[in-house]
Amino acid sequence: MKQLSTFLCLFLISFGVNAQENNKLIIDAKSGGVVINKNIYGHFAEHLGRCIYDGIWVGKDSKIPNINGYRTDILNALKEMKIPVLRWPGGCFADTYHWMDGIGPENKRAKMMNYHWGGVVENNTFGTHEFLNLCEMLGCEPYISANVGSGSVVEMTQWIEYMNSDKDVPMANLRRQNGREKPWNVKFLGVGNESWGCGGNMTPDYYVNLLRNYSEMAGIYGQWKLQQIGCGANGADYNWTDVVMKQRPGGMSGLSLHYYTIAGTGWGDKSPATGFEKKQYFSGLEKALKINELVEKHSAIMDKYDPKKQVGLMVDEWGIWTDVEKGTEEGFLFQQNSIRDALIASVTLNVFNNHADRVRMANIAQTINVLQSVILTEGDKMVLTPTYYVFKMYSVHQDAKLLESKMISEEYEMEGKKIPALSSSVSQDINGNIHLTISNLNPDKEAVLSVELVGKSFDKVKSASVLTAPEYNSFNSFDKPDVVKPVDFKNFKKTSASTLQVTVPSKAVVVIEML
């Protein structure tokens, strides 16, 4: 974890311990050397369930309003959320996907079985062109996952050439034949996915040798400045990170990490997405907070081999994984999304922000209709989830300077277990405005928080909003889409030139802009 500056540490020693203040946020307003990479707010779209088909893509002949086959409402919502990067085609699907099956005339594309997710037949009408054109329409960067599990170096390098070359070479000419003259200039390439599991069941020593091979060849074809992302660890597998970082190829600029929040209270069991009990609410938040420990420990290993922090930690799959909704296909992973999930998103993003010196990208799983989605669809209906609103509210941190801070928080306790009630991160944008994002995890009690700026005063609170809910398991349905929605927030007061008192409601996310 990024350490507080010496000045802020001295301030904490002098003023941080006050028995009458249970909750205090101390901000070093003179820091700001690290930029929060906007790609921390990235997303993930796999060929899984109704994420692509019925979610993003309905086809040009659909009665659902669309632009060249893409749902119009989805396009508009993702633009408003300011999506910066989108990962595709998987996930486990990526290591069975052969990209040439998804190019050319739709009626001539080869079909394939989606063995991992529901055993459905994939018709490949959504392929390379459809995905990369989508990213252009959204104004976001594409992040391609190459097939290492069942593919080859040749297949990967041909795909790179197809997407990025402007030369008179076979793959670029094939792209032109398929209707695209200009290359897309893809910047992010994942070399395999979950190679320790569905991507090949490899040992780290075996994978890192493959990575060296694939990375070298991607580099030869990578005059287009590809940022190569190696397959990293599953959760707390620190040995995997150690092996890959020790032998990492020079072309690797990122290493992934996958971590899912399983919110059940027993060993390995999942929580319902809705109608869960308060102990499952607590369990979800407790387990989500574990991401801080994982980031710190994996970062420490990376620091050992990469003290200059040239390799980014890319948490390219994260989110809560619950039971699927009743009556839906188990392999489609369709789940609802509650205020608990919004709080999981907020505390996770706060962790990533506060470790922005190492965390350069993150991709929540998944964008539409799968796992912790930001949007759900049902026919021509669309609902924005509580998680969507967190991403929209937190977009103020994208490419802003991280301000180092320290939260002193009361605890939220459940059946003898305790977690901090409050979570936060702070940044300063290019105009000098300071943004605070604060979460109160306690579902029963508001929290009075003293915010102290060290080294700077502020004139006023320019704007503020809050996301909360009637109950700890409230959610937005297609019949009631506005149960959990941000509104203006007024419960704060300036107490001095550099201090602000904020009363954060229970089970709430608050964003404050200070001028």
d(CA 494, CA 499): 6
Smallest CA-to-CA distance from 386 within 482, 312, 269, 261 is with 482
Q: What is the DSSP string of 472-508?
A: TT-B--SSSTTSS--EE---EEEEETTEEEEEEPTTE
For the record, the structure tokens of 372 come out as 């912790």
| Cα-based distances in Å from 159 to 124, 214, 270, 331 | 16, 13, 38, 29
| Cα-based distances in Å from 185 to 176, 301, 457 | 14, 32, 44
For the record, the structure tokens of 128 come out as 């390379």
Q: Which residues contact 23 (CB under 8 A, 6 or more apart)?
A: 407, 408, 409, 410, 421, 422, 447, 448, 449, 450
d(CA 468, CA 342): 9
Q: Give the Cβ contact number of residue 330 at 10 Å.
A: 10
Q: Which residues contact 457 (CB under 8 A, 6 or more apart)?
A: 497, 498
d(CA 235, CA 260): 8
Q: Which residues contact 247 (CB under 8 A, 6 or more apart)?
A: 208, 209, 212
HEC-encoded secondary structure of 267-300: CCCCCCCCCCCHHHHHHHHHHHCHHHHHHHHHHH
d(CA 510, CA 490): 10
398: preceding bond cis by omega (within 30 degrees): no
Q: Which residues contact 334 (CB under 8 A, 6 or more apart)?
A: 49, 50, 324, 325, 328, 369, 370
Q: Could you tell me which residues are beta bridge partners of residue 297?
A: none
Q: What is the DSSP string of 62-124?
A: -SS-EETTEEHHHHHHHHHHT--EEEES-SGGGGG--GGGGSS-GGGPPPEEETTTTTEEE--
Residues with a catalytic annotation lie at: 194, 317
Smallest CA-to-CA distance from 393 within 466, 490, 313 is with 466
